[in-house]
Amino acid sequence: MRYRSIGTGPATRREVSVLALGAMLFGSVTDEQTSFAILDRYVEAGGTFIDTSDNYAFWTDGSQGGQSEELLGRWRRSRGVGDEIVIATKLGARPLAPGTGYADNAEGLSAKTIREAAERSRERLGVDRIDLLYAHIEDHRVPLAETVEGFGELVAEGTVGLLGVSNHAIWRVERARALAAAAGAAAYEVLQYQHSLLRPRLDVPESIFEDGSLGAAGPELLSYLRAETGLTLVAYSPLLSGAYTRQDKPVPPDYDHPGTPARLAVLRQVAEECGASMNQVVLAWQIGAALPIIPLAGASSVAQLEENLAAVDLELTEDQRSRLDSVH
* Contact indicator for 59, 67 with CB cutoff of 8 Å: no
Query: Per-residue pLDDT tens for 197-252?
Result: 999 887 765 544 443 445 888 889 999 999 999 999 999 999 999 999 998 888 88
Backbone dihedral angles phi then psi of residue 147, each to the nearest 5 degrees: -60, -45
* Contact indicator for 280, 315 with CB cutoff of 8 Å: no
How does residue 99 score in pLDDT terms, banded at 50, 70 and 90?
confident
Spell out a b/e string for 151-173, using b for 16 or more CB atoms within 10 Å of the CB, else e: bbbbbeeebbbbbbbbbbebebb
* pLDDT of 308 strictly over 70: yes
- Cα–Cα dist 263/244, whole Å: 11
* pLDDT of 300 strictly over 90: yes
SS3 call for 117: helix
* pLDDT, the chain, mean: 94
Supply the pLDDT for residue 247.
Answer: 86
Peptide bond into 183 cis (omega under 30): no
- Cα–Cα dist 275/183, whole Å: 52
* pLDDT of 146 strictly over 70: yes
Query: Per-residue pLDDT tens for 171-195?
Result: 999 999 999 999 999 999 999 999 9
As to burial, measured by CB atoms within 10 angstroms (0-12 exposed, 13-18 middle, 19+ buried), residue 196 is buried
How many residues can be counted in the chain? 328
What's the count of helices (H) and strands (E) in the chain, helices before strands? 10, 10
- Going by C-alpha positions, the residue among 198, 210, 205, 171 that lies closest to residue 281 is 198
Supply the pLDDT for residue 213.
Answer: 43
- Cα–Cα dist 112/133, whole Å: 15
- As a whole number, mean pLDDT of residues 33-54 equals 98
Identify the H or E element spanning 297. strand 293-298
* pLDDT of 328 strictly over 90: no
* Contact indicator for 260, 251 with CB cutoff of 8 Å: yes
- As a whole number, mean pLDDT of residues 62-91 equals 97
User: Can you give 160-196 as a three-state secondary structure string?
Assistant: EEEEEEECCCHHHHHHHHHHHHHHCCCCEEEEEEECC
* Alpha helices by DSSP H, the chain: 32-44, 67-79, 111-125, 144-157, 170-183, 219-227, 260-274, 278-287, 302-310, 318-326
Query: Per-residue pLDDT tens for 310-321?
Result: 999 999 999 999
SS3 call for 146: helix
* Contact indicator for 225, 231 with CB cutoff of 8 Å: yes
Strand 14-17 and strand 3-6: the pairing is antiparallel
SS3 call for 131: strand
% of the chain surpassing 70 pLDDT: 96
- Cα–Cα dist 73/117, whole Å: 16
- Which domains does the chain show, CATH number per domain? 3-326 (3.20.20.100)
Supply the pLDDT for residue 104.
Answer: 74
- As a whole number, mean pLDDT of residues 16-22 equals 98
- Going by C-alpha positions, the residue among 268, 264, 240 that lies closest to residue 253 is 240
% of the chain surpassing 90 pLDDT: 85
Q: Which residues pair with 194 in a beta bridge?
A: 216, 236
